Amino acid sequence: MPFSRFSFPRRLIVASLLLLLLIGSMFAAPLLTSADPVQIAVSKRLAGPSWAHPFGQDEFGRDRLARVLYGGQVSLTVAFLASFIAMAIGTFIGLMGAYFRGLFEFIAMRVSDVVLFFPPILLALLVVTIFGPGVSTMVAVLALLYFPSFSRIAYSETLRVSALDFVEAARALGTKPRRIVVSTVLPNILGAISVQFSLTAAAAITVESGLSFLGLGVVPPAPSWGQMIRGARGFMEQDPLGIFVPCAALCVTIYAINLFCDRLRDVLDPKGMEDGKDSVSPAGRQTAAPAKLDTDSAAELRGLTLSLNRGKREAPAELVRDITLKLRRNQCTALVGESGSGKSLTSLALMGLLPSSIRPSAGHIAIERKSGAAVDLVSLAAKEAEKVRGDDIAMIFQEPMTSLNPVLRVGVQMVEALQAHRKVTPEEARNRCVAALDRVGIPEAEQRFDSYPHELSGGMRQRVMIAMALLCEPKLLIADEPTTALDVTIQAEIIDLLRDLRANQDSGLSMLFISHNLGIVADIADRVVVMYSGEIVEEGPAGDILSDPHHPYTRALLESMPSLHEEMHSSRGDRLGAIGGTPPLPQARPSGCAFRDRCPDAKDACAATHPGLYPSQDALRAVRCIFAPEASSFLKEACDEPCVA
């Protein structure tokens, strides 16, 4: 939760200012107008705007500006006070109910339910008739109306939080329940509660005006917006301004509060607004030169640079820089690197699945279709790209738990993949999908076809993903860390499966295998490409690279796994153990070599030049380091002068 390190978020500035301005102007009413909101002047009733009365006068001749400002004080005070009380009571009830369960839970939740059963208007009617109308009754009614929603939210949030590791841990350590609730659970549910608070405050303002309108609210002559609307409704035709002014005030205030809580929600839970993973929004068109391919290539990237658009004020950040990569036909190329090295983005660029904020700023992409034509999915029209994806090129993802739609049966999701590219009868589709499931080693494929994803284990789901990817026999399969989320024993099985499938697909299958785990790479890859901070730092045949790495980073990667087999057991450690630090942010790369901050062998010279990717004599491998053997000849040629000091 961001509360511990709360600095004022930029997104909230406009909304907060607007809200403050509104509240401020209402409470500064005496400064803004000298008129008395209850002073009647019947002879001037319904008078239009004048210098003395900018919003005109109401049906009693009272100054409308003063009434709308002072009325705002009443409306806002009631709304916020009621929301606060509702929040306090509701949160307490929900918290207690969820944390202590048992009888507490039963009573707490039933109390809330009973309140919900009463039609709100009746609740208001009854409370007001018993206690008489007025501000305090109003606050009580609104608090009563709204505490159940707080208790429901607090309840479900607490249930969620209580199951989290650190709460369990605190409980195991014998911390007193009260302490756990106050210091551990409460801070974690505050986010949801505070959003609900702002929503409630907005709703309370409308309800307050509604109740006042009914005469169940604020007692006249004290102004409130509801009272103003009530009074003006009868004269709507003669004097539209009378109804417009309070409605507009209500409207602006509610807009401000809504804006504030939308922004607050974004800040507390940025997932919703993040554009990063969105794959549905249509991408902007990009023109690119017609793609061409070498004869032995399944796909190629030439000088590809991917930039993140960071708005008008900041320069775009280059997430991936000048990548040239050739995926040879019927070979498996492994793309290796830490998180954030750009390897996943590179693969998404191949699929044409880049988030809309990331665009190629230079270079070309080309994928070979079954027809032999070459296409670039990033710049291809959406309709055309749909034809290529899943048919010519397929992809499996890292998290089998979330990569399948949880509410659709496995079979449905497979059949739609097939039907997207082949005209098949439902029966035929079913048979082919069951056969595909069978091929990836799923027992009782016939039954599994009708299962929901949550009924399958992680390994099974990844097998389903693989079966689904290969349904249309694509020429190129991209596997983005397909084993990372799986158990160690399952990992090996999946790798074996992929290897077998590649060997057995008659039409031939090229593969781009992405991993941070060199141990797995050794089992499957023909070629290895190592990426660091958006650049390729070393590439070459798998055997050569793994046995004799030339780049310090590749060496560090290898060293950080004690032995190939042990590495399998720490599958999730995608940080470098052998060297400290983290990769630099794209906008803050050091001058010269990007790796030099963390490099054990770094010298002064590393800061001076940005190293190129130096190919070896036989052109089979290349490395981006000025101290690598491949670099020596280049540097001598290019730099006879003492440029490397």
Q: Which is nearer to another protein, 351 or 623 (CB)?
A: 351
The answer to the question of residue 12 lying near another protein (CB under 8 A) is no
Nearer to another protein (CB atom), residue 237 or residue 618: 237
Residues 312 to 341 in contact with another protein, rule: CB under 8 A: none
Tokens of 162: 């209580």
Question: Could you say whether residue 280 binds another protein (CB under 8 A)?
Answer: yes
179 to 238, contacts with another protein by CB under 8 A? Answer: 206-207, 209-211, 213-216, 219-221, 226, 229-231, 233-238
40 counts as binding another protein under rule CB under 8 A: yes
Report the C-alpha gap between 389 and 415 in whole angstroms: 15
Interatomic CA distance for residues 473 and 615, integer angstroms? 34
Site for another protein in 353-412 (CB under 8 A): 353, 382, 386-391, 394-395, 397, 399, 402-408
Should residue 92 be labelled a site residue for another protein when binding is judged by CB under 8 A? no
Long-range contacts of 569-577 (CB under 8 A, 24+ apart): 569/488, 571/483, 571/484, 571/486, 571/488, 571/491, 571/517, 572/484, 574/338, 574/339, 574/484, 574/516, 574/517, 575/338, 575/339, 576/338
Binding letters toward another protein, positions 605-634, x by CB under 8 A:
------------------------------
At closest approach, how far in Å is the CB of 212 from another protein? 10
462 or 554: whose CB is closer to another protein?
462
| Residue with smaller CB distance to another protein, 106 or 166 | 106
Residue 405 or 582 with smaller CB distance to another protein: 405
Rule CB under 8 A: choose which of 14, 32, 114, 435 binds another protein.
114
Contact between 160 and another protein (CB under 8 A)?
A: no
C-alpha to C-alpha distance for 191 and 263, rounded to whole angstroms: 12
CA separation, residue 57 to residues 27, 85, 236, 407, 436 (Å): 21, 36, 14, 59, 78
Give the 3-state secondary structure percentages of the chain, helix then strand then coil, rounded to 5.
Answer: 50, 10, 40
Q: Shortest gap between Cβ of 246 and another protein (angstroms)?
A: 9
With contacts defined by CB under 8 A, name the span among 69-77, 87-95, 251-259, 538-546 that binds another protein: 251-259
Count of residues that interact with another protein, criterion CB under 8 A: 99
User: Whose Cβ is closer to another protein: residue 258's or residue 305's?
Assistant: 258
Do 226 and 218 contact (CB within 8 A), yes or no? yes
| Cβ distance to another protein smaller for residue 85 or 388 | 388
18, 135, 241, 247: which one binds another protein (CB under 8 A): 247
Q: Which of 18, 317, 420, 492 binds another protein (CB under 8 A)?
A: 420
The nearer residue to another protein, 176 or 233, going by C-beta atoms, is: 233
Site membership for another protein, residue 284 (CB under 8 A): no
- Binding span for another protein by CB under 8 A among 10-18, 36-44, 171-179, 627-635: 36-44
Nearer to another protein, 309 or 616 (CB): 309
CA 346, 575, 267, 265 torsion: positive or negative?
Answer: positive
CB contact at 8 A, 131 and 140: yes
From the CB of 559, what's the least distance to another protein, in Å?
A: 33
Q: State the helix-helix crossing angle for 64-100 and 11-27, rounded to 10 degrees.
A: 130
Q: Smallest Cα–Cα separation from 189: which of 104, 87, 105?
A: 87
Touching another protein, residues 120-159 (CB under 8 A):
120-122, 124-126, 128-130, 132-133
Nearer Cβ to another protein (310/454): 454
Regarding 107 and contact with another protein (CB under 8 A), the answer is no
In this structure, are residues 644 and 608 in contact, taking their beta carbons and an 8 Å threshold? yes
CB of 602 to another protein, least distance (A): 38
Structure tokens at 181: 């609730």
Look at residues 454, 477, 469 and name the one whose alpha carbon lies nearest to residue 405: 454
Q: Which residues are bridge partners to 513 per DSSP?
A: 334, 479
> What's the CA gap between 10 and 568, in Å, rounded?
43
Minimal distance in Å, beta carbon 395 to another protein? 5
Nearer to another protein, 254 or 568 (CB): 254
Q: Identify the three-state secondary structure at position 454.
A: helix
Dihedral (CA of 257, 259, 262, 267) sign: negative
Longest dimension (CA), the chain: 102
Q: What is the residue whose two structure tokens read 């909304």? A: 15
Binders in 446-475 for another protein, by CB under 8 A = 452, 454, 465, 468
d(CA 332, CA 316): 33
Question: What's the closest the beta carbon of residue 84 comes to another protein, in angstroms?
Answer: 21
DSSP per-residue letters across 549-561: --SHHHHHHHHTS
Q: How far is the CB of 583 from another protein (least distance, A)?
A: 24
Q: Quick one: which of 322, 416, 438, 493 contacts another protein (CB under 8 A)?
A: 416
In the complex, least distance from residue 428 CB atom to another protein, rounded to whole angstroms: 18
* Distance, CA of 596 to CA of 553 (rounded, Å): 10
